[in-house]
Structure 1
Amino acid sequence: MSNDAILLDLADGLARVTLNRPDRLNAVDPAAIARWREIGELVASRDDVRAVLLDASGRAFCAGGDLRAMSELAAATAADADATGRAVTGGAAITALADEIHAGHRAFRDSGVPIVAAVQGIVAGGGLGFMLVADVIVASEAAAFQSGYADVGLTPDCGVSWLLPEAVGQRRALELTLTSRRLSAAEALDWGLVTEVVAPDAVADRALEIANGWLAGASGAFGQAKRLVRAAAERSFADALDDEARTIGEAFDTPEAQARIAAFTRR
């Protein structure tokens, strides 16, 4: 296994992105955050990437931010500020980290590429945001989900304050962020937090099956459908209709659509 905090494998149109700090439950430190942004921006910029599979090494998907690494960074920043007389706090360093990781989240979420996540074990704190940048989420029956921010005196990051209500509704999002509630995989499915739940040993294969289905299909249409649905919450119905009209017209003229329409009409 590579020592890279996050792995990237690009092959035949599929970008496989693997959180790779299993000894820390894939909690992200500054190196992982920089790598996440780098990979997100790379994937979003490449025309040959037609599907993304997001998974994780070890027994957990992601426990959010590595509090030990965050504390060490904040302490070093504050000490440096004291030594130089600059008005910089440890919290300012954490804000800078959050800005960097959020750039990666924006790149993945706003990309015209469908994303499937394979989720096992615990998903906590910012790990919810990593999971929710995916469009389809396959979870293990053994997975568990919680916020945990308030337990350590922190507030949501990684888009959780936006992505979580989008997925489960405001009332349930408030329950998760304001209490220590932990959801089982079955509860997460019932709430709409994940797409489907499978046996632990089936998670990887099922996620890959979904990604391969996108690769074998009209991948351009999948990407545009993702973009239309993801943008819905941020604009008016009229703007959505106008965008749909332009997009379906452009899709109609693509070789992918023409071949499939011809095959359909010959049935």
Structure 2
Amino acid sequence: MTDTVSLSVTAGVATITLRRPDRLNALDVCTRHALLDTLTEVASDEDARVVVLTGTGRAFCVGQDLAAVEELERAEETVAGTYNPIAQLLSEMPQVVIGAVNGLAVGAGLGLTLACDLRIAARSASFSCAFSKVALVPDTSVSWHLVRELGHARAMELALSSRALSASEALAMGLLNEVVADEDLVLRVGELADTLASGPALSQRLTKRAFRSAPTMTLAESLALEARHQGQAARHPDHVEGRTAFTEKRPARFS
């Protein structure tokens, strides 16, 4: 890891933390490469059953570090080379990813939030597309997620206005799963991560794969994928344990 991104893996939960609080966790090239390397490492770690992505200080992430002017002069290369792979990996890595949004999530920081499978925010967190404020366009999968989750009109309004959404507004719009008091964020995310980490890993991974694939599939393709996944899950020892635990009226102990 580097000074700007840290990783800890405890009891099946991999916590990845952005650590540039003095820059509101803005993403310069070193931080982006460190984040991408860390995500790649975690994706192949069998001990990591659940991933938590969060930040330090008063921001989750405010996106591109605008002080890195040379990166913006090569914007297509910058986005294609680092931002796109980060968004792609968050979507495709096998583990469920929880976004623990501790503060500002702006620009590409909004993209990181939306790329997570589950999103829990502190009450003081806020969200903004913000790209148009500096005459840029949404990246880091923001356009993909906002259109699908909000529809064309609302997505366009947020992108063009760059207005900030409070955590409660984002929750009401369906962009978050939960909002908690600032002081409860770590505890609540920890509880959820621990619950998932003790659950049936294969079932969770196949569910993520099916749900991530669904928007680009026909009904017939989705049905076929569900059948294949159900075959895999039913043959796994976790299913036998789950079925036995249900019959014996006890909590399941998944492998």
The TM-score with structure 2 as length reference comes to 0.93
State the 1:3 CA deviation: 5.9
Partner of 1:152: 134
State the 1:253 CA deviation: 1.1
SS at structure 2 position matched to 1:54:
strand
The one-character-per-residue Cα deviations of 1:165-211 (angstroms, maximum 9, x if unpaired) are: 23322222111101132111111000011111110101111111111
Partner of 1:30: 29
Partner of 1:263: 245
State the 1:73 CA deviation: 4.0
State the 1:13 CA deviation: 2.1
SS at structure 2 position matched to 1:67:
coil
The one-character-per-residue Cα deviations of 1:76-99 (angstroms, maximum 9, x if unpaired) are: xxxxxxxxxxxxxx2xx2222212
SS at structure 1 position matched to 2:61:
coil
Q: After superposing the two structures, state which structure 1 stretch, 206-215 or 101-110, moved more.
A: 101-110
State the 1:231 CA deviation: 0.8
Separation in 2, partners of 1:111, 1:180: 30
Runs of 5+ unmatched residues, structure 2: 250-255
Describe the shift of the 1:27–1:255 C-alpha distance in structure 2 as closer, same or farther (beyond 3 A): same
Separation in 2, partners of 1:193, 1:5: 27
Runs of 5+ unmatched residues, structure 1: 75-89
SS at structure 1 position matched to 2:242:
helix
Q: Is the 8 A contact 1:40 1:105 kept in 2?
A: no
Partner of 1:50: 49
SS at structure 2 position matched to 1:177:
helix
SS at structure 1 position matched to 2:105:
strand
SS at structure 2 position matched to 1:118:
strand
The one-letter amino acid of 1:16's match is T
Cα RMSD of the aligned pairs, angstroms, is: 1.5
Q: Is the 8 A contact 1:43 1:108 kept in 2?
A: no
Aligned counterpart in structure 2 of residue 249 of structure 1, from 231, 241, 244? 231
Aligned counterpart in structure 2 of residue 164 of structure 1, from 146, 151, 154? 146
- Which has the larger Rg? 1
Separation in 1, partners of 2:243, 2:127: 42
Separation in 1, partners of 2:8, 2:151: 34
Q: Does 1:230 align with 2:202?
A: no
The one-letter amino acid of 1:108's match is L
State the 1:226 CA deviation: 1.1
Partner of 1:202: 184
Separation in 2, partners of 1:166, 1:37: 25
SS at structure 2 position matched to 1:193:
coil
SS at structure 1 position matched to 2:59:
coil
Aligned counterpart in structure 2 of residue 95 of structure 1, from 73, 76, 79? 76
Partner of 2:10: 11
Separation in 2, partners of 1:265, 1:166: 40
Which runs of at least 4 in structure 1 moved beyond 4 Å after TM superposition?
none
Partner of 2:66: 67
- Identity, in percent, stands at 36
Q: Is the 8 A contact 2:71 2:78 kept in 1?
A: no
Partner of 1:189: 171
Describe the shift of the 1:154–1:66 C-alpha distance in structure 2 as closer, same or farther (beyond 3 A): same
Separation in 2, partners of 1:3, 1:255: 38
The one-character-per-residue Cα deviations of 1:106-140 (angstroms, maximum 9, x if unpaired) are: 11211111011111221111111111121111111
Q: Does 1:111 align with 2:93?
A: yes
